[in-house]
Structures are given as C-alpha cells and as structure tokens.
Structure 1
C-alpha cells in the first residue's frame, strides 16, 4: 500500500468515527449536566439555616407570617414537588428568584459574570502563557539549576492555599508593614467617583493583587504538565532527525517538540477555561471582588437556595462544556483519539 493510500485510509476512518465520537461526548455531557441538576438541588438543602428566618431580618414574626413566606417561595411544598418544579423551570432557563436580593437569579448571575471574567480571565491568560513558557524552558534544560528552581517554586506556590496567599498579600502590600506603605487597595473593584480612563486605571489597580494571587497559585500546574509532556517527547526519533538535518536547537523545540507536547496542556487549558467562568470563590471573597465567587459565598450564608443552585449549575455547566470541547478538539491534534 502506498503512502497516499495509507493516509487516505486513516483519514477515512477518522471521518467515519469522529461523528460517533462527537455524539458520545455530547451525550455524556448531557448526562453529567442532569446529574449536576439533581445533586445541586438536594446537596444545598442539607445546609443548616432557615432562609425564611433570614428574609424576616431577625424581626419577631408570627407563625402565620412565616407560613405565608414559605408558601410564596414554594418551601411548603413536598420535596419531590419542589424538585420537579425546579427541574422544569431550569430546563427553560428560569433559575428562580433570589431570597436575599428579591431578583431573578439569572439577572444576578448576568450582573456579576463580567466582573468574574475580568479577574479570572486576566489571570488565566497570564498563568497559561507563563506556565507554557517556563515549562518549555525547564524541560529543555532539565536537571540544571534553572529547572530545579522553576519546578521547586512552582510546586511550593501550587501547594499554597489561595486564600492564605491573598491575605498575606493584603497584609504586606495593602496594609503595609512597618515603614513600608500600602501600595494597593485592600479589596473591592473600584474606589468610586471616577470615569473614563481614570476609572479603567482604578479598576486595574484593584485588579493587581487578586490576579497575582491566582497566577502564583495556578501557573505551576501548567508548568509541570508542559514540562512532563515535553520531557516525554525529547527522546523521540523525529527530534534526532530534525537535529541531523542541521536545524537549530531553538527551532527543533518550537516547531517540532512543543506542538506534540502541548496535547495534554490543551486539555488542561480547556479545564482551566471552564473554571474561569466559575471564578475562585475564596479569592473573590478575600478581596471582596463583586463576581460570581463572592456572590456564591453570600448565597451560602443565608442559605439563598435558588441563587446557590443557579450558581452551582452555571459553574458545573461551564466546566462540562469546556471539557466536552477539549474532547472534541483533541482528535484534530491526534487523530488516533477519534477512531
């Protein structure tokens, strides 16, 4: 069989197998989303606290008034009926009304989503690029001092709790230590009263510490995955052939080794991209960032069941969607996956 015939045979198998691969992954995503819907409903009803008592603001109320509140929000219905109502509405895009804000859950999520995307999206781009660059450099010079320092620092930072690192940065760079003054705001997204360019600069100023926290904690994972994958490729015959052709070491790394080594990193990038929508609850809480993570923490303290369930569903759906896209794109890099 000629090389052209072999290539056509492989391409034909991929063409026929890929639709089945897509159908299987989409079906799996739908089942996962249904499981999230069920889990989110029952899980958060185990949280201690009475949302009706919260809505009264601690004022003394009669049993009749409490019963009216429960009836208004459907909390007097049997649990199975609450569940069927919740599923039916969720499938139509209605996630209910927030107890504490007295507003549609979808509106609250839409309002906070851009703030989360600004924070975690900025951090995502920085720690992804930084992790790939440093991981590539460490793998190509593995065993040297720079490699040991890079991997050691990445492991230390990756193991740190993000909220602890955030508090440490607030103490040192916001509050200040001794003669060192605070350089950044302690929290929030803006100081208020600014417009135009001054507003953009103010938001960027508030963005520095939470982004640094996320980058410091997250870049190590990308670095370690990229380094490990590239080390596996470095002994391959095609790299030896490329060097024998007289290609510079830098070209061999960038044009040949790195594209093949990035396959595991692509999956990790899509997973992290899904987590970008979810945000980082603890970091947003520590820095009082008005995003989905901070909103989720507020909802848990009530508990605001519709808001908690809606946010949980959005978080999980984002991760499931990105994982599914990674599974669908992966065969384009490695046709063996889609067979």
Structure 2
C-alpha cells in the first residue's frame, strides 16, 4: 500500500509541475496586451506605459518572468492581480465558496439522479422508461450549457433570480440570507444538473448491463433472492466501480465546468473570476486559477485511484 501510494503521489507531483509550467506558457500566447487594456481610453504617455510595464514585470525577458513565477509558486505566492491589485490567492479564496456551493450541490443531485435513472433503465432495458430517460439525457447532454441557462432564465421569467448570489437588501440574519442564496441557486444549479446527469446515467446503465448476465447473479437468483435484492446487493455495487472514477473526475472538474454557468447567471465564483481574467488578460489571475483548477483535478484523480483500490479487491490483488 505504501509503494502504491508513493507511486500515485509521485505521479501527481510530476503532473502538478507540468501544470505550473504549462500555466505560464499557455497564457503568454493569448492575444492582447494587459497594459494596453488597462490604459485604454485614458490619456497616458509612453513614459507612463513603460513605468506600468516595469511595475507589472511584463517588460522583463520571458525567461526572467518564468523564474519569478516559479519562485512565487514555491513560496505560495501566485502574484498580484493586474485588474484588482490584490493577491491572487486572496481573490481565489473569496470566490471558492460560491463555486463549491453551486457545483457541489449540482454534482450531488446530478449523481443521485443519474445513478437512479441508469439503474432503473438498465434493469428494464428496452422499456419505455429506458428509451425516454436515455433519449432525454442524450438530448440535454448535447445542449450548450450557456444556451440552456439562457433558455431556463427566459422560461421562468421573474420566478427565480437570473443573476447574482443574493439581493443587497436581504436582512443580515442567517435564515434570510440562506433562503435568498437558495433562491438564487435554483437556475444555475438546474442548468448544471440538466447537462451533467446524463454522463452518470449512461455510464451506470452501461456498467449494469454488462453485469446483468454474470454468473454470480445467476447464482444469487438460484438461491431464491428476490429480484430487488439481486440488483441492490450484488449487481449495483459491482456496476458502481466505473462510476466512482467519473464522480471523482467531475468533482475535480466542477470548477472549470462552472465557467459558462457562472458567467450567464453572474454567479460570483471562480468561473466568473476566470472569465473576467480572460478579458484582460490578467496573467497572474489566469495562472493562479489554472493551477488551482488543474490541482483539483490531479488531487481528485489520486483520491479516485485510492477509492478504487479500497472498493475493488482485484486492484489490491494486482
């Protein structure tokens, strides 16, 4: 187990190093000059622009910028935002909770809905329920998230708020704030669920169909177990294994997947922060959010490997 864990952590560390390097190079090829963007429409001279470049550090050769960037990452300093003039880690910390609330809620509901529909559809393969649920899931999976969000916003009208996380005039007590946030959460959360749950449904359905005619299920039926018990105690636990990896991967990708949803609904999370950083481009903020998002995916991959080892005895034996 120690050797297995060390190998996974070593691979994760190598991946994280590559992410740091890629995070620096990737955003240097984005068209646009942050200094020009920041001074657009303002009467500034060449000397002021040169001074601003020197202050931001973009006048240095690329190699020196990379060395400064890596040194900052090793110190736990992701730099200072060009636009907000605040530490990047501080901005990310402020926006992390709204994203976790939105994406965490949507992911939990999507997993529960997708697994339930996938299990019922596979166990009743070819039925009307199976055809309808699979068809609807595939249709919604093919929809662009931002387009579906705008449709839901127009369809519901004034029933649910279409922007922000809370109203400014909401009383400051906990209950009022919670109800207000939950009211604002409905549309963005529903948008994410409608698109994401199809993946869990399809993977669960496919995995369960592969288990349907396994010998151990035939033995369980021969012992006199009811069909519900055969499905719940034997078929579903084995069919869940491929879904575990998908769930952990999505938990790592939840932040990046919320960029379009947060932008459409002006939800003040990391997704909207990343979109705002792209319009600059705000290089330190882009690099910081990229490292955080990629680090979350790497961390969840390691957890998925460890969970797989615990859940599947065949992995431990190998």
TM-score, scaled to structure 2: 0.96
Paired residues for 1:41-56 under 5 Å: 41-56=24-39
- The match for 1:25 is 8
Residue 57 of structure 1 and its aligned partner are, at CA, apart by 5.1
2:255, 2:271 within 8 Å by CA — same for their partners in 1? no
Give, in whole Å, the separation in 2 of the partners of 1:222 and 1:26.
27
- For structure 1, the residue ranges without an aligned partner over 5 or more in a row are 1-17, 175-181
Matched, 1:216 2:216: no
Residue 59 of structure 1 and its aligned partner are, at CA, apart by 0.8
- The match for 1:252 is 230
- The match for 2:136 is 153
Say how many residue pairs are matched. Answer: 315
Residue 42 of structure 1 and its aligned partner are, at CA, apart by 1.0
Give, in whole Å, the separation in 2 of the partners of 1:294 and 1:79.
28
- SS of match in other structure, 1:186: coil
Residue 337 of structure 1 and its aligned partner are, at CA, apart by 2.4
1:278, 1:318 within 8 Å by CA — same for their partners in 2? no
Give, in whole Å, the separation in 2 of the partners of 1:139 and 1:38.
44
Residue 335 of structure 1 and its aligned partner are, at CA, apart by 2.9
1:279, 1:292 within 8 Å by CA — same for their partners in 2? no
- The match for 2:250 is 272
Larger radius of gyration: 1
Residue 107 of structure 1 and its aligned partner are, at CA, apart by 0.3
- The match for 1:179 is none
Residue 24 of structure 1 and its aligned partner are, at CA, apart by 2.0
Give, in whole Å, the separation in 1 of the partners of 2:256 and 2:297.
8
RMSD: 1.2
- SS of match in other structure, 1:46: coil
Give, in whole Å, the separation in 2 of the partners of 1:335 and 1:66.
63
- The match for 1:80 is 63
Larger deviation, residues 197-206 vs 138-147: 197-206
- The match for 2:178 is 200
Matched, 1:231 2:231: no
- The match for 1:173 is 156
Paired residues for 1:1-339 under 5 Å: 18-56=1-39, 58-174=41-157, 182-194=158-170, 195-196=172-173, 197-338=175-316, 339=318
Residue 279 of structure 1 and its aligned partner are, at CA, apart by 4.7
Q: Deviations over 1:62-121 (max 9, x none)?
A: 111111111111111110110111011112210000000000000000000000011101
2:98, 2:268 within 8 Å by CA — same for their partners in 1? yes
TM-score, scaled to structure 1: 0.90
